[in-house]
Amino acid sequence: MTQISHLAAEAARVKHREARRDFSPAHLVARGVSGGLSVARCGAGVTLLALLMAISTPNRVDAALEVNVDGCLGEWGVTVADNNRSTFPAGTTNFSSGSVNVAGSTLYYHLEDQDDQAGARGYLGPEYGGQAYDGEFMGVVIQGSKISIAILTGQRSTNWVSTYSPGDIILQTSLGIFGIEVGGVPGGNGLVTEGDLGITFQLNRYGNTLGAKDSVGNSHANPSSSLPAPQSDQVAGSIWKEPEWLQDPIDPPSDVQMDGQSGTRVGLADYVYTLSCPTGGYTGTQHAVIELSFDAFETGLGTLNSVLWQPGCGNDLLQVDIPESAHAPEPGSMLIWGGIGTCLLGMLYRRRRQTIRAKDA
């Protein structure tokens, strides 16, 4: 082994050790967390505070896959390309959902990439619509309280207006249904980031888009005058608790767009919806990417159970279900919590004994 490769191997070992979620007292001492030694002797409140901070620091947890919200999906293990040449993370299978490990993190996914060259009659399951409506890939990564979502689709702003109507993202959680405004007015260069215009599409009974209104009240194509524009702060990337939903017009109807009139705004995601990867990579004409991150704790999300997204006409559906095990506390942190409980009981017991002794004296 040469010196350089030896150093590289050692660096890899160190990195591997760092990546492990080790909250054992010995490990905490080694890392200079002051409470480590005190676990055994159940020290003062400061010690407990240090331990609590060590446990609850999100960056310490499963942070291997680093999501960069830029419209490029390389870090997700996805290469976007036209004419059925896109590739997806190793271990995933088309027309399936589940989880795979990408760069050390668990990626929950739904992969359903239909023929990129299919016209309007192309089957998507459950309905038809071809590449313009194809929901191709959804990935979800949970790292501490940070949730990141990636969507690959044929719903792009350069489609004919009549075939463009991206729905909003639905989050099913332990504290109710949340929505994320997708935005994306028809036409233009298709680059949408957080704070850009929100939009509500109006469809006919066949699922074709008649028009839309955006969050500053402008009309696109020919929406009826009765279609309400989304309220001014329902911008792209905004997160809403318990909004009402507009349903798609095709049987069976399902919730697909926030109505733009209800719910409580609880946050703004780091967000992009784009036709190309600006830092090199995809510059084709068949796909668009939605990529976002937000903090579940700050938005009061509770436990995330499922993420759903579909075009406004509901003819294709991406759905990722998050298993309960994704939210289970780490065995290491359970040990610490158990230790803290024992310490607190011990402290109470000692205090009581001291009180009794003081009385006896």
In the complex, the residues that contact Ca ion under the rule CB under 5 A are 68, 70, 72, 112-114, 116, 134-136, 168, 257, 316
Residue 360 vs residues 77, 200, 349: alpha-carbon distances, Å: 70, 76, 16
DSSP-derived secondary structure for 278-331: TTSS---SS-EEEEEEEETTTTT--SEEEEEE-BTT-SB-EEEEPPGGGGSPPH
In whole angstroms, the minimum distance from the beta carbon of 72 to Ca ion comes to 4
Closer to Ca ion by CB, 25 or 167: give it. 167
End-to-end CA distance of the chain: 71
Q: Which residue is nearest to Ca ion (CB)?
A: 112
In whole angstroms, the minimum distance from the beta carbon of 318 to Ca ion comes to 7
In whole angstroms, the minimum distance from the beta carbon of 199 to Ca ion comes to 5
* DSSP-based three-state secondary structure for 177: strand
Do residues 150 and 137 touch, judged by C-beta distance below 8 A? yes
Do residues 50 and 25 touch, judged by C-beta distance below 8 A? no
Strand partners, 176: 173
Closer to Ca ion by CB, 24 or 87: give it. 87
Closer to Ca ion by CB, 113 or 255: give it. 113
Closer to Ca ion by CB, 35 or 311: give it. 311
Half-sphere exposure of 313 (CA within 13 A, CB side): 27
Closer to Ca ion by CB, 114 or 276: give it. 114
Closer to Ca ion by CB, 112 or 127: give it. 112
In whole angstroms, the minimum distance from the beta carbon of 173 to Ca ion comes to 19
Do residues 92 and 111 touch, judged by C-beta distance below 8 A? yes
In whole angstroms, the minimum distance from the beta carbon of 347 to Ca ion comes to 47
**In terms of Cα–Cα distance, which of 272, 302, 313, 352 is closest to 128?**
313
Closer to Ca ion by CB, 118 or 340: give it. 118
In whole angstroms, the minimum distance from the beta carbon of 169 to Ca ion comes to 10
In whole angstroms, the minimum distance from the beta carbon of 159 to Ca ion comes to 13
> Which amino acid appears at position 302 of this protein?
G
Closer to Ca ion by CB, 136 or 270: give it. 136
Cα distance between residue 350 and residue 361, in whole Å: 16
In whole angstroms, the minimum distance from the beta carbon of 337 to Ca ion comes to 34
Kindly provide the b/e burial profile for residues 75-111, where b requires at least 16 CB atoms within 10 angstroms of the residue's own CB. Answer: bbbbbbeeeeebebbeebeeeebebbebeebbbbbbb
